[in-house]
């Protein structure tokens, strides 16, 4: 067409080039200032599981405990080195009758790189008031701080907060806190804030209990006194949410005997990690973990020569 603006624009560019005149420049787009919020959904039987990325934290090399040569070989094989950038994932399970959030991230208590759960929920189209129950794997700050607003109120006003009794008895104990070294007392703050905010809406359970149809506690004791993993099952589909059973995937999958400095009982954490990894392979179930790269879900397989290899779930739209 004679007045087609695309033809007119192309003609202007050709004319400018022919006489040596530089073509017009367009204004540069401003920098976006960060990545998009992480929201990923998958079907698990009749359930829907949404990973919500709270942010990330960097772990120092000293976090790993064990044979130094084995750690170094694993790092070299993975072509990685400290500090270890690790995601902080949370998992929202829609069972069809309930919305259950597993772990709540670190809020801004961990610094500016975490605490994005409220924005991730909004991006997923979920209001905090819609969450029915919140299950905490353990009462460390990067799993529990996000249950409480900066002002000290419940972030999920209609939800019951459920934590294993062994963890509440330890982290909620004034006597245990008083006996702890001064440099460890800050680790009791998340529990104290959650207990104060939730009151009788904080309910404890025994490890191994079924908390709602399709979600059962699985003992993961070792990282903390009452560390609980959660087995989500719908039909034949299973997802084992591991909490802090692992922190540094490139090392602890091939060498599950390697522990971390945060483990309350390293011997128990080591033994339980090996048992849970073996169970995940034997039953061909998905695993999900807070500190796996987003969206934090995949499968394990036995690796030639020992240990395990991790195959992340391909990004999917269902």
Please report, rounded to a whole number, the percentage of residues in the chain having pLDDT higher than 90: 85
The CA angle 18-24-27, to the nearest 5 degrees, is 160
- Residue 29 is predicted with a pLDDT of 82
Q: CB within 8 A of 118, min separation 6: which ones?
A: 128, 155
Instruction: Check whether 16 has a pLDDT greater than 70.
Output: no
Cα separation values, 259 from 167, 184, 265, 267, 295, Å: 20, 19, 10, 9, 23
Helix (H, G, I), strand (E, B) or coil at 276: helix
Instruction: Check whether 153 has a pLDDT greater than 90.
Output: yes
Separation between Cα atoms, residue 247 and residue 292, nearest integer Å: 7
Separation between Cα atoms, residue 106 and residue 143, nearest integer Å: 6
Residue 17 binned pLDDT confidence (cut-offs 50, 70, 90): low
Mean pLDDT over residues 175-180, rounded? 96
Separation between Cα atoms, residue 174 and residue 176, nearest integer Å: 6
Q: Which of 244, 224, 260 is nearest to 71 (CA)?
A: 260
- Residue 169 is predicted with a pLDDT of 98
Residue 111 binned pLDDT confidence (cut-offs 50, 70, 90): confident
pLDDT in tens, 88-100: 999 999 999 999 9
Separation between Cα atoms, residue 158 and residue 155, nearest integer Å: 9
Q: Are 288 and 44 in contact (CB under 8 A)?
A: no
* Fold for the domain defined by 39-60+86-243+274-297: Metallo-beta-lactamase; Chain A (3.60.15)
E strand residue ranges, the chain: 39-44, 47-59, 64-65, 84-94, 99-102, 133-135, 160-164, 202-205, 210-212, 215-219, 228-234, 237-241, 259-260, 286-288, 297-302, 308-312
Instruction: Check whether 63 has a pLDDT greater than 60.
Output: yes
CA within 13 Å, CB half, 53: 18
Sorted by where each begins, the domain ranges of the chain are: 39-60+86-243+274-297
Provide the edge-to-edge strand list for the sheet that holds 133-135: 39-44, 47-59, 84-94, 99-102, 133-135, 160-164, 202-205
pLDDT in tens, 100-109: 999 999 998 8
Lookup result for tokens 């294993």: 164
Q: CB within 8 A of 157, min separation 6: which ones?
A: 128, 129
54 CB neighbour count, 10 Å cutoff? 31
- Residue 30 is predicted with a pLDDT of 84
Instruction: Check whether 252 has a pLDDT greater than 80.
Output: yes
**Cα pseudo-dihedral 202, 208, 211, 217, rounded to 10:** 80
- Residue 270 is predicted with a pLDDT of 97
Question: How do beta strands 133-135 and 99-102 pair?
Answer: parallel
Mean pLDDT over residues 40-63, rounded? 97
Mean pLDDT over residues 251-275, rounded? 97
């Amino acid at each position: 067409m004679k007045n087609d603006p695309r033809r007119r624009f192309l003609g202007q560019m050709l004319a400018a080039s022919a006489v040596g005149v530089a073509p017009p420049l367009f204004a540069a787009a401003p920098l976006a200032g960060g990545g998009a919020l992480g929201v990923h959904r998958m079907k698990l039987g009749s359930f829907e599981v949404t990973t919500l990325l709270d942010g990330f934290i960097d772990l120092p090399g000293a976090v790993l405990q064990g044979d130094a040569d084995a750690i170094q070989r694993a790092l070299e094989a993975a072509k990685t080195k400290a500090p270890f950038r690790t995601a902080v994932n949370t998992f929202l399970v829609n069972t069809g009758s309930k919305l259950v959030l597993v772990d709540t991230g670190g809020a801004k208590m961990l610094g500016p790189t975490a605490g994005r759960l409220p924005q991730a929920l909004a991006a997923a189209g979920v209001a905090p008031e819609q969450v029915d129950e919140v299950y905490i794997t353990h009462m460390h700050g990067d799993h529990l701080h996000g249950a409480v607003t900066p002002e000290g109120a419940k972030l999920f006003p209609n939800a019951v907060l459920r934590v294993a009794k062994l963890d509440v008895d330890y982290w909620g104990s004034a006597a245990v806190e008083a006996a702890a070294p001064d440099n460890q007392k800050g680790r009791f703050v998340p529990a104290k804030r959650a207990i104060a905010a939730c009151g009788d809406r904080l309910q404890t359970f025994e490890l191994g209990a079924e908390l709602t149809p399709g979600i059962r506690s699985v003992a993961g004791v070792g990282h903390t006194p009452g560390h609980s993993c959660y087995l989500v099952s719908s039909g034949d589909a299973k997802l084992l949410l591991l909490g802090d059973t692992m922190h540094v995937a490139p090392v602890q999958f091939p060498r599950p005997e390697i522990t971390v400095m945060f483990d309350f009982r390293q011997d128990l954490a080591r033994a339980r990690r090996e048992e849970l990894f073996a169970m995940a392979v034997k039953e061909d179930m998905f695993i999900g973990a807070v500190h796996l790269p987003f969206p934090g879900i995949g499968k394990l397989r036995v690796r030639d020569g020992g240990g395990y290899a991790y195959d992340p779930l391909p990004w999917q739209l269902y």
